Structure 1
Amino acid sequence: MSTHDDTPATDPAVLQKSFRSAMGNVAAAVSVVTTFHDGAPHGTTVSAFSSLSMDPPMLLVSLDNRSQLLAKLEVGSRIGVNVLAAHQDQIALRFAGKGDDKFLDVPWQLEDGAPALSDRHAWVALTVAQLVVAGDHTLVLGDVEAADTSSNLALTYWQRAFGSHQSF
């Protein structure tokens, strides 16, 4: 019988590379997480978010600790999770970059206290309940304030490429 003590130590760089590869093989919905702070909209692209609880309704969003958006959040902040539609890959790329002009020419409106992008696949408005540092990311735990969906197909990310999914 093998124990963990018999397992050779894995080189951290090798482990990080294989973990990144494994996660690249998991299809994920793409969203733009937004907030309205100091009179302006702010947002960033994420693929690491998930439902956390149905009773009460909660969502989890993972943000890089260096995220400009994260620096604007605190407990009680309003954020929006804009799950992008399949045709919004250029919006995903824009919000993945740095800069203050991400909303330029992107239709949006303030909805449920956060910037909501037009023509999205789904929308969830949250109030930040807790911020939990976890490695090089911070988990934003949010209480759901509102949610809706559209008939647009969702934008997904798999093996370093955008796509979509249709059921059989």
Structure 2
Amino acid sequence: MDDRLFRNAMGKFATGVTVVATEVDGKAHGMTANAFMSVSLNPKLVVISIAEKASMLEKIKKSNTFSVNILSADQQELSMIFAGQLKEHREVVFDRLGGVPVIAGALAQAACEVTATHVEGDHTLFIGRVIEISVEESNADPLIYFSGKYRSLSE
């Protein structure tokens, strides 16, 4: 099967957009990711999927913590920054939740401790136990990604 065909087919699944963040040696790092899902309510677990070639992989292995930040529709620029889509450097200030860096103004933030890792294909799955969570009390829409483009909800 052709790689492009597989990517195009998977792109037909609309997803929210997150920034996964961690801290190593006192420096916060983030990457845009849509490979995220909740796993369990009891205990409260989530999973993220990080490519073997991503620099974030070793950072999460070293820190053993990460946050998942669910972006709002007005945070598309942050998504682009952490996806490496903007050429000029922009400084991002992180807040903290449960001792882990988080994105200010995200619709929801979950601070997690890694409980398990699974290497599957060219990705590593990190299972994270949610140690603290925050939800933005607003009516903002989520940032959506579908078929290779950012999208928005319509009524």
Is the TM-score greater than 0.5?
A: yes
TM-score, normalised to structure 2's length?
Answer: 0.89
Displacement, 1:75? Answer: 7.8
TM-score, normalised to structure 1's length?
Answer: 0.82
Partner of 1:162: 150
Structure 1: distance between partners of 2:38 and 2:117: 16
Structure 2: distance between partners of 1:130 and 1:75: 13
8 A Cα contact 1:128 1:140, kept in partner: yes
Displacement, 1:154? Answer: 1.0
Alignment deviations for residues 77-128 of structure 1 (CA, whole Å, 9 cap, x no partner): 2211011110111111110129xx9771x23212212111111111111101
Gaps of 5+ in 1: 1-11
Displacement, 1:147? Answer: 1.6
Q: What do you get for the CA RMSD once the two structures are aligned?
A: 2.0
Partner of 2:39: 52
Structure 2: distance between partners of 1:25 and 1:155: 16
Change (3 A) 1:34 1:46: same
8 A Cα contact 1:75 1:129, kept in partner: no
8 A Cα contact 1:126 1:146, kept in partner: yes
Displacement, 1:48? Answer: 0.6
Matches within 5 A, 1:103-122: 104=91, 106-122=92-108
Partner of 1:23: 10
8 A Cα contact 1:75 1:130, kept in partner: no
Partner of 1:93: 80
Gaps of 5+ in 2: none
Partner of 1:5: none
